[in-house]
Chain A
């Protein structure tokens, strides 16, 4: 998978879990119910805290997912690079060995030709 595909996969649209919409509606209904009742400082603070916690929790979750995706992509890129470098080293080694054997063959042929002439 290349980088584009990995990003598309990591950032693809996901359906919300079952009951998510109901829970959100219930939350909204609860908040509006509180709004109509007499504002009590403690209740209002608890509402804000709950809302803040909820939003923060989602942002933290989104951030964690994004970090995980980026980390996975980077790890795969690193692995791909390591494999490529290893393959390159293997190739250079193979070419050098082949080269040295061909050189030896040529040297031996030349030596035998020279010996034959003398």
Chain B
């Protein structure tokens, strides 16, 4: 009896540990770059979990503007929206090593890099990652590194690719040709 109880406790602990370790699918830990805010001239930090998204959704009016109507539709199934953007006065305020903890998470199974583009003219590097669960998109992440600006975006939730594509020319969200068959592993 005692063995069974111990085994149950061990199983429960293991389940809790696994849940804590893997967390919400598609969610990145982007707090590691928080320390850059001390060096940044401008900081944008958006942290919207599911409850805040639901609250925001209540205040989005379809009648007020088409943008709000589309946003309301887009966030229906989202679990979280996290954005960190740092603007710097000088170049060299951050290094690749600052981004490494985030890149390491994006190398994990489930994440696929669908766009990686580097501009030598603007010294700009933008990568777009998608988290898949089967054929369902569970999250999107964008890492945009520029000499004086660093942006990390993490959108969590089953994002309907057709809905996202329909935003072309509205929020300015472009059609990236994200077809379900284009699952190029990085």
Contact = CB atoms under 8 A, between A and B. Distances in A.
Interface string A88-118: 1011111111111111111011011000000
Interface of A: 81, 83-85, 87-88, 90-106, 108-109, 111-112
Contacts of B128: 102, 105
A99 B128 CA distance: 12
A87 B52 contact: yes
Given A90-B52, A105-B117, 5 more contacts: A94-B82, A97-B83, A99-B167, A99-B173, A108-B117
B71 A95 contact: yes
B58 A84 contact: yes
Nearest to A85: B59
Contact of A93 (B44, B58, B118, B140): B44
Give 7 nearest A-B pairs by CB, closest first: A87-B56, A84-B59, A106-B174, A99-B171, A94-B46, A99-B172, A99-B173
Interface string B25-69: 000000000000000000010111000110110111000000110
B56 A101 contact: no
Contacts, number: 105
Interface size class on chain B is 35 or more
B99 interface: no
Max count, chain A CB within 10 A of own CB: residue among B74, B119, B155: B119
Contacts of A103: 172-174
B55 A101 contact: no
B81 A91 contact: yes
A91 B171 contact: no
B127 to A, nearest CB: 8
